[in-house]
Amino acid sequence: TGGRRGPDIISTVEFNHTGELLATGDKGGRVVIFQREPESKNAPHSQGEYDVYSTFQSHEPEFDYLKSLEIEEKINKIKWLPQQNAAHSLLSTNDKTIKLWKITERDKRPEGYNLKDEEGKLKDLSTVTSLQVPVLKPMDLMVEVSPRRVFANGHTYHINSISVNSDCETYMSADDLRINLWHLAITDRSFNIVDIKPANMEDLTEVITASEFHPHHCNLFVYSSSKGSLRLCDMRAAALCDKHSKLFEEPEDPSNRSFFSEIISSVSDVKFSHSGRYMLTRDYLTVKVWDLNMEARPIETYQVHDYLRSKLCSLYENDCIFDKFECAWNGSDSVIMTGAYNNFFRMFDRNTKRDVTLEASRESSKPRAVLKPRRVCVGGKRRRDDISVDSLDFTKKILHTAWHPAENIIAIAATNNLYIFQDKVNSEMH
């Protein structure tokens, strides 16, 4: 493992629609794809092992000469496209440029050409006396990754999210102030569907932090803001969706008001449930579940690490208060997961209201090791195995997590290590 700031720090994790493939992007602009091994007859428990399937350089560092700005190669987001044929496709983006990649397998090669020799050079035609039928011979499996399209020049500000539409033909990309709609086949133009840039930049009060299409209705999408609000937009209503259809916002509790209120209410991630009925959001201290039919307040709020409420001053000074944690649903929308500090991640069961803190560490990643629940204590009384809030390591943060679409398999990015845990026994993760 490299250094903390090294190019191999994982910056995004994403399962494909079947969960057979898992892609990670890193700070160095690389994409690594893992493939799940099929279950073998001899070892029925070996299924679920993910092995490296392909690694490729998606983005290179660039320089914007007009603005004298370096554009870093870090992969901000990866989104898989629904599979249409034997090949797999994914979109990857850095701050400015989105690319469409195609991943194909080759395990046969043609042999016995009439006009070319084994090296591929053209034969002297006078030596060709008979015709033969070329044949396909088996060869070692090769995974080929090829860039199919490059979607550039669509964004003035940094891209924070991309989302593929359920129509499988279009996708959107969001930056701090604008959201664009693209057609997957057209690279030289996109349609601006949200623009919150004020005429005078001094009047700027909020930015877009994340956005996502509804999983079933191709006309609906949501975007979150740094002020803690969610806006649900309907593309059937107008071409420019500046006027949202619904605004989801929780009124602030005046008793909790502090210097940090606005910073910690900024939404760092928003995810529709698989059913399409709910939205999950993460802010600095909580995860919330919203019902699409109720705008006034979330239907559920879960404390991720409430023991940090008294530590906001130092978290502001070391910039941790600006960390952007993601959140994820399990396949049945009954459990939600999100990361925390000290390589901890949290799970909340919506039905039983039980919650657990788990740790992604070298010890817990030994094969068949069982994850032990962890507890953080505040103040004097400490039980055995409790971790004091003052000894938490804030450089070890789990920002990026993903949940297999159907099974209890989770992927956790802890700086430059990827952990894959699976629940072999229970149907739900506890």
Q: Is 335 contained in some domain?
A: no
| Lowest mean per-residue pLDDT among 40-44, 279-283, 339-343, 346-350 | 40-44
* Confidence label for 1 from pLDDT (cuts 50, 70 and 90): very low
Phi, psi for 77 (deg, rounded to 5): -150, 150
List b or e across 53-62, with b for residues whose CB sees 16 or more CB atoms inside 10 angstroms: bbebebbeeb
% of residues, the chain, pLDDT over 70: 94
Q: Is 250 contained in some domain?
A: no
What's the pLDDT score for residue 370?
81
Domain count, the chain: 1
Q: Is 61 contained in some domain?
A: yes
Nearest one of 165, 275, 175 to 212, comparing CA atoms: 165
- What six digits make up the tokens of 319? 């910039």
* Confidence label for 137 from pLDDT (cuts 50, 70 and 90): confident
pLDDT at 309 over 80: yes
* Confidence label for 116 from pLDDT (cuts 50, 70 and 90): confident
Nearest one of 263, 241, 249 to 196, comparing CA atoms: 241
Element (H, E) at 263: helix 261-265
pLDDT at 239 over 90: no
- What six digits make up the tokens of 225? 């803001």
Domain holding 97, by residue range, is: 10-109+134-152
Nearest one of 412, 413, 392, 386 to 308, comparing CA atoms: 392
Q: Which residue has the tokens 């506890």?
A: 430
Q: Is 359 contained in some domain?
A: no
* Confidence label for 46 from pLDDT (cuts 50, 70 and 90): low
Highest mean pLDDT out of 113-117, 120-124, 154-158: 154-158
- In sequence order, the β-bridge partners of residue 181 are 172, 191
Nearest one of 307, 303, 279 to 291, comparing CA atoms: 279
Q: Which amino acid is at 151?
A: F
| Lowest mean per-residue pLDDT among 36-40, 52-56, 85-89, 194-198 | 36-40
| Lowest mean per-residue pLDDT among 30-44, 193-207, 211-225, 331-345 | 30-44
* 345 contacts 338 by C-beta, under 8 angstroms: yes
For residues 333 and 330, give the distance between their C-alpha atoms in angstroms, rounded to a whole number: 5
pLDDT tens for 149-186 read 999 999 999 999 999 999 999 999 999 999 999 999 99
Q: Is 46 contained in some domain?
A: yes
pLDDT at 429 over 70: no
Q: Is 221 contained in some domain?
A: no
What's the pLDDT score for residue 430?
38
pLDDT tens for 223-233 read 999 999 999 99
What's the pLDDT score for residue 138?
84
Higher pLDDT, 3 or 322: 322
Three-state DSSP class for 315? helix
* Confidence label for 40 from pLDDT (cuts 50, 70 and 90): low
The helix, strand and coil proportions of the chain, stated in percent and rounded to the nearest 5, come to 10, 40, 50
- In sequence order, the β-bridge partners of residue 220 are 234
| Lowest mean per-residue pLDDT among 17-31, 58-72, 404-418 | 58-72
- In sequence order, the β-bridge partners of residue 339 are 345
Does the predicted TM-score (pTM) go above 0.85? yes
**Mean pLDDT of the chain, nearest integer:** 90
Q: Is 59 contained in some domain?
A: yes
**Strand residue runs (E) in 268-369:** 269-272, 278-282, 286-291, 300-303, 327-329, 335-339, 344-349, 355-359
* Confidence label for 41 from pLDDT (cuts 50, 70 and 90): low
Nearest one of 6, 13, 7, 5 to 32, comparing CA atoms: 13
Q: Is 147 contained in some domain?
A: yes
Mean pLDDT of 96-109: 93
| Lowest mean per-residue pLDDT among 48-57, 104-113, 284-293, 313-322 | 104-113
* Confidence label for 124 from pLDDT (cuts 50, 70 and 90): confident
* 272 contacts 223 by C-beta, under 8 angstroms: no
pLDDT at 300 over 80: yes
Nearest one of 331, 222, 318, 312 to 265, comparing CA atoms: 312
